[in-house]
Amino acid sequence: MRHTISILVENKFGVLTRIAGLFSGRGYNIDTLNVGPTHDPNTSRMTIVTRGDDATLEQIVKQLNKLVDVLKVQDFREDEYIDRELVLVKVAVDARSRSEVMQITDIFRAKIVDVQPKSLTIEITGGEAKVEKFLDLMKPFGIVELTRTGKVALPRK
């Protein structure tokens, strides 16, 4: 089962290393990891997506709460949070396929950020299902390159 964990941390040197070390040292895998500053320059928010059963997740949360620079840990359950991901994808195009790729991009409210003679680079943001569906539709054209930010999330309440 996939879990999304939000961790508010003090913006100090080595915090990311300690948290990543906690996961690797206990054999937990991180599917995605996103870190960025918050509105307070002294804190950053980490969003980690990991897999495991409820007992494993409970253990992870307890271990995270013991770390010195960790201020708050939230295990987001379904419908308790809003999440988004940003993807940049370079898609191969030719004269025939260019308009079809542009039309699909428009339907998904994605944005073309670079145009080259044989490719389009597209920016898409949204929930995991939207992003995955868009990427599935781009595969037949040929995905040349792709990068993803990983999930960012905030609680609804």
Of 155, 3, 157, 5, nearest in space to 81 by CA: 155
Confidence check: pLDDT of 127 > 90 = yes
Average pLDDT of span 137-151: 97
Which pLDDT tens digit goes with each residue over 75-108? 997 778 999 999 999 999 999 999 999 999 999 9
Average pLDDT of span 145-152: 95
Q: What is the pLDDT of residue 26?
A: 86
Q: Which two tokens stand for residue 108?
A: 């998904």
Which pLDDT tens digit goes with each residue over 9-21? 999 999 999 999 9
Confidence check: pLDDT of 69 > 80 = yes
The three-class DSSP label of residue 26 is: coil
Q: What is the secondary structure of 116-155 as a DSSP string?
A: ETTEEEEEEEE-HHHHHHHHHHHGGG-EEEEEE---EEEE
Cα–Cα dist 141/98, whole Å: 9
Q: What is the pLDDT of residue 104?
A: 98
The total number of residues shown for the chain amounts to 157
Cα–Cα dist 3/105, whole Å: 29
Contacts of 103 (CB under 8 A, 6+ apart): none
